[in-house]
Structure 1
Amino acid sequence: MPIVCSVAVLAAVNLLNNWLLRGPVAYVVVCVTATGVLLLLARFDGLTAADLGLDAEGVRRGLRWAPVLAGAVVLVLVLLLAVPAGREVFRDARAVGLSGGHVLGQALVRVPFGTVLLEETAFRGVLWAMIRRRCGTAWATAVSSLLFGLWHLMPARGLNRSNTAVAEVFGGGSAGVVPAVTAAIVLMIAAGAVLCELRRRSGSLLAPAALHWAVNGFSYAFAWAAARWWLDG
């Protein structure tokens, strides 16, 4: 029952954030509230801070992993930006016309306190720990990663229209929506598995959270900067 309730909470949040509600403030409020609900469900299920990777030792381990993971992400993004073909990855219509303050708000507020807080607590924290206790690590990783992929179905609907690199592969029209969304879901399932493995190896929820924030936050900032100084058109 706690697993079903957790999935139901996430389904409701996905619907709210992608269909019914608009604006960064509402997004963060919904994500923070849902995170609290999920943690209450975890406590009801008998999970401890250690089960969630949030005990004192887990926090210490996560803090050791965080700068290494963030640095690796920055290095990869710099290398992509240094190669002309790699720059196309940053050609995203959503980054055009945004102010520096908006980008900072996304990277320092919306991403860490909205996206990362909820998704890591849900998929690498609560759900992963609930399923792991009942079925083992392999099932926990498989199920939470699958759910993480499906979680991105609605946000990925306009991906082939906003990102040039995606549009070049799948097409920018309506015919490209289904293959682009399918590819995004598969990619997110794989990303979820990597984050689950990082959670297992590090013993901390902060390690996958740090990687998740670095990928989302720095990618957003790099796309914004690239649109102004490195990309034409």
Structure 2
Amino acid sequence: MKLEVRNGSFGYGKHMLLQNLNFSVESNRIMTILGPNGVGKTTLLKCIMGFLKWKEGQTWFNGQALGSGTNEFWKHTSYVPQSKQSVYSYRVIDVVIMGLNARQNFFAMPSEEDYERSYEILKVLQVEKLACKSFNQLSGGERQMVMMARALISEPELLILDEPESNLDMKNQLQIVNTIERAAKEFQTSCLINTHFPNHALKISDTTLMLG
């Protein structure tokens, strides 16, 4: 797996928020994007994933420009956005299974094997006790752990996370950071992570991109 940004630039009108960025994320590596709020970290992720169009430059994935292979990109990539108030009334185990949609027919009924896989992912992340609880009744830290499980069930080559520790207390922040580090090793997944916590970046990163 190799994700690359080549000469990436983005802005609104004449204001350039990101200019001439060049970097890559290799297989089984953790890269953090570090910087204060408002510097463009989330915008950068949206450009990388194709949610926003680069003004200049391109995202490449496994040697293919993203614009010509977006579907292939999402077969190998999972995304965990910033934590927000839940709209899911489903059981946790069903929310995790939803992470398989990118690789299955959206209307396909989950199999017994899917449920077993969902429970095993929750068990690896040490939150299997939540399996039958309603997702919208969980705490912020619990919801973020479940969203991590949802992202990992499809066994992605690349996991992209947008400030996964935001709006959490210190205990839950450390749990999320430790889970990311463990997931990268146990699932052989590369990670690209936005954060504004330098100590978290230093703890888990193989490389760090500083935005200022």
**What TM-score, normalized by structure 1, do the two folds share?**
0.27
What's the TM-score, normalizing by structure 2?
0.29
